[in-house]
A and B are shown apart, each in its own frame.
Chain A
């Protein structure tokens, strides 16, 4: 029976399951060179910033369905222990609590908007959170030679039909995936896929590979939603600044 699952049946299944492919999609905005136009302000609406996996509510943490494909993360045994340790120590060990740049893909699903700007040479992502910005080069240039440790990595993209595929390397090992202690090493390698599935929904999928931490590549996906409020714009949320402000306030209140 297993072998009766033929190529054509598989194809039929894929066609039903896949988001609308090029040519079939709802009319999406396009740039003059015919590429899908991603420009605008976007925001994720998942609870992945708390925990990328399924989780029940805790005080201050909304329950949520995870964004990990199949929900399991294939940690190596030592890394699973480390993840649990991170979780226990999360209120002080999470790099977010120190006001650091949250890394990729975490910055993509923080509870803050980001704006996409597009030219034929690059697609620039500007984040309200921590003045982050990522330039996804689409001009055919390769990654710079390493070793380099960047908080937001080095991103080189190419178009596969209407999908932007971005290869990201050169990471620090200092960032986490979420507030639940999920982590990676400096060998992190991401392949992101951005597909405009409707004028207001940008499907984001990322394959995570890190041979130092995981036993195999794994995948996360979520939609990004277009912010539609009139005159909506990015403002500023810079944790380092706000932490300094709070320190000054605390000192002022001391007797």
Chain B
């Protein structure tokens, strides 16, 4: 079948049945032996990519900035848990939405676990969030930062003038506008689900400061989370023409004992004629009433609100 037509058909299906979100099991594809010339294991990839970034000379925009434009898909990721799936979780082997045993994406701390404060450990990590609340993404919300960058194909655009970077995500049709013009962050009373993003270039690395977060998105299917006190710093660096080393440092004095760091690869989608499709989630959503009948609640940060 013509690839374009097949993609369009998928787009149509998504429009009509957002229930895909609930029943859709995302089993990770087998990893290639190496990614951008680095090992296909997150800690080794991270160390190798940082070395490669020192010598790789990226293509440039007409304005002279590193050119990250194109379509990207994540590797070294899975949607189940940023801490990884050991194989003991009840959803491994589930008939409807089976999880798969898979490594996590945390490179710091070395134990690969989110350094939660005790109360927060019982909320994330398949705790209160997972047991009692609807994943905000299942309610057609945006995956949030950084989940958006692992969930599905995305597009980076560097418009003429280099005073913004636009990051578009096919997953639930979300956009991030990254201001590169040195402007201040909005006042603290303005909070957004995808936060406010301000970027700058550190050598060949795009560094993005994400502030003004409302804490109403999760990292993964396990309910791992941050609060409205979170501050994220993302670093995107090309390590070869088709591979971005993506790193995000997460800081949240309300929920964690220290900052921690996630890493994965963004690999260029090179299919000829590839374009993002429109994914309308809310317009086709029919499952939420049933999910709520089972007692799950919309997530407005109750487990941490007021702390």
- Given A101-B283, A124-B159, A244-B298 contact (CB < 8 Å): yes
Partner of A150, one of B186, B278, B298: B278
Alpha-carbon gap, A197 to B283, bound state (A): 36
Alpha-carbon gap, A119 to B166, bound state (A): 11
B91 within 8 A of A: no
Instruction: List chain B residues, Cβ under 8 A from A131.
Output: 142, 172-175
A152 within 8 A of B: yes
Instruction: List chain B residues, Cβ under 8 A from A118.
Output: 159-160
Contact residues, A228-255 vs B (CB, 8 A): 231, 233-236, 238-241, 244-245, 247-248
- By DSSP majority rule, is chain A's interface helix, strand, loop, or mixed? loop
Instruction: List chain B residues, Cβ under 8 A from A247.
Output: 298
Q: Is the CB of A233 within 8 A of B177?
A: yes
Instruction: List chain A residues, Cβ under 8 A from B278.
Output: 150-152
Q: Is the CB of A248 within 8 A of B280?
A: no
Q: Is the CB of A101 within 8 A of B280?
A: yes
A218 within 8 A of B: no
Q: Is the CB of B283 within 8 A of A151?
A: yes
Alpha-carbon gap, A118 to B160, bound state (A): 6
13 A–B contact pairs at CB < 8 A? A118-B159, A119-B157, A119-B158, A124-B159, A126-B177, A135-B168, A145-B2, A148-B12, A151-B278, A151-B280, A235-B192, A240-B139, A240-B281
Residues in chain A within 8 A of chain B (CB atoms): 31-32, 37, 39, 99-101, 115, 117-120, 122, 124, 126, 131-133, 135, 137, 141, 144-152, 172, 174, 231, 233-236, 238-241, 244-245, 247-248
Name 14 extra pairs, CB < 8 A, besides A144-B5, A238-B141. Answer: A124-B157, A124-B159, A124-B166, A132-B173, A141-B273, A148-B8, A148-B12, A149-B12, A150-B15, A174-B283, A240-B139, A240-B140, A248-B297, A248-B300
Residues in chain B within 8 A of chain A (CB atoms): 2, 4-5, 8, 11-12, 15, 62, 69, 139-142, 157-161, 164, 166, 168, 172-175, 177, 179, 183-184, 186, 190, 192-194, 196, 273, 275-276, 278, 280-283, 285, 297-298, 300
CB-CB nearest 4 A-B residue pairs: A117-B159, A240-B282, A150-B278, A31-B160
